[in-house]
């Protein structure tokens, strides 16, 4: 790993990965991004990539509308009216709105505002979408979801609001792999070892999925019994399957004096790799 790759921030790394993936795809994809990438820097760095982007934005984001028509006096304006996501008094009438009654989410209201942009990316227009649950009887009550669309041809609102929810299944698996399957816990020495360890995680997940009908729930003292076991609860109950099928591991050796290093065998230094750190910009006082 080079020094430039170590100092590369997450947004630049994501843009490089998106470009690499799109070069090998036959069609233009629709990519889904978390709120960390819903910013002007990511929009500008991915402007030349053949991919449509649907990104979540934070509730404190500030947008600007299209500038008014130039009147011939002074410098032409770059920005139009302000649109503060957390201030409804700055919102104008949406370009489109849709009411949806979903069986799982309840009554939904989707609004669309076209031709907005970030302050630092005035040349890159985008569409802002608000997804809000209007059924107050359902629990838990959730805050509105704000998305921005950057691309050529946007799907209809009835398709768009369901499209972003596909990424939640992937995000939950990554969190499960890190917290429960300990994806990032081992301190491995080589990139090849890291790749082999990463390849094992989907196999572990499939084993848990296949074992869900063969285990009995084994809740911890503070957990309530569940009729339908999650992958984490299946992992808690896997001990009964391991006890039945055994293990291919070699039995532990008896304690004693180690024979030491073999005489005549060459010693090589262990390869050390630099620590990957995220760069954060310091705030000016």
- Whether 124 has a pLDDT exceeding 90, the answer reads yes
- Among 43-47, 147-151, 155-159, 203-207, name the one with the lowest average pLDDT: 155-159
**Residue 53 confidence (pLDDT):** 95
DSSP-derived 3-state class of residue 12? helix
Q: Rounded to whole angstroms, how far apart are CA atoms 217 and 224?
A: 10
Q: What is the DSSP letter of 36?
A: G
- Whether 113 has a pLDDT exceeding 80, the answer reads yes
The pLDDT mean for the chain works out to 87
Note the pTM of the prediction, 2 decimals.
0.70
- Among 29-33, 38-42, 80-84, 131-135, name the one with the lowest average pLDDT: 131-135
- Among 166-170, 193-197, 218-222, name the one with the lowest average pLDDT: 166-170
CB 145 within 8 A of CB 131: yes
**Residue 137 confidence (pLDDT):** 56
**Which residues sit opposite 64 in a β-bridge?**
82, 117
**Cβ contacts of 4 within 8 Å, gap of 6 or more:** none
**Residue 283 confidence (pLDDT):** 54
**Residue 64 confidence (pLDDT):** 96
Q: How confident is the model at residue 14 (pLDDT cuts 50, 70, 90)?
A: very high
- Among 5-14, 53-62, 97-106, 155-164, name the one with the lowest average pLDDT: 5-14
Q: What percent of the chain has pLDDT over 90?
A: 50
- Whether 2 has a pLDDT exceeding 50, the answer reads no
134-181 residue pLDDT tens: 876 555 567 899 999 999 889 988 888 888 888 877 888 888 999 999
């Amino acid at each position: 790993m080079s020094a430039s790759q170590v100092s590369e921030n997450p947004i630049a790394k994501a843009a490089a990965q998106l470009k690499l993936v799109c070069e090998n795809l036959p069609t233009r994809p629709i990519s889904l991004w978390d709120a960390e990438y819903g910013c002007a820097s990511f929009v500008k760095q991915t402007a030349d990539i053949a991919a449509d982007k649907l990104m979540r934005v934070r509730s404190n984001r500030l947008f600007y509308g299209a500038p008014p028509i130039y009147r011939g006096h002074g410098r032409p304006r770059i920005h139009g009216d302000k649109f503060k996501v957390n201030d409804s008094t700055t919102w104008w009438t949406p370009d489109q709105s849709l009411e949806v009654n979903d069986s799982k989410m309840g009554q939904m209201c989707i609004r669309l505002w076209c031709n907005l942009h970030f302050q630092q990316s005035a040349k890159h227009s985008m569409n802002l979408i608000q997804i809000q649950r209007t059924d107050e009887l359902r629990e838990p009550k959730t805050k509105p979801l704000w998305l921005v669309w950057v691309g050529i041809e946007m799907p209809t609102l009835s398709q768009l609001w369901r499209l972003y929810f596909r990424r939640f299944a992937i995000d939950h698996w990554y969190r499960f792999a890190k917290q429960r399957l300990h994806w990032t816990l081992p301190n491995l020495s080589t990139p090849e070892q890291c790749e082999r360890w990463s390849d094992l995680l989907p196999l572990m997940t499939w084993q848990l999925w296949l074992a869900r009908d063969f285990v009995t729930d084994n809740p911890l003292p503070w957990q309530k019994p569940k009729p339908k076991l999650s992958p984490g609860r299946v992992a808690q109950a896997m001990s009964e399957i391991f006890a039945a099928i055994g293990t291919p591991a070699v039995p532990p050796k008896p304690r004693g004096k180690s024979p030491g290093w073999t005489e005549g065998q060459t010693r090589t230094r262990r390869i050390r790799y630099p620590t990957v750190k995220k760069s954060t910009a310091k705030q000016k006082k």
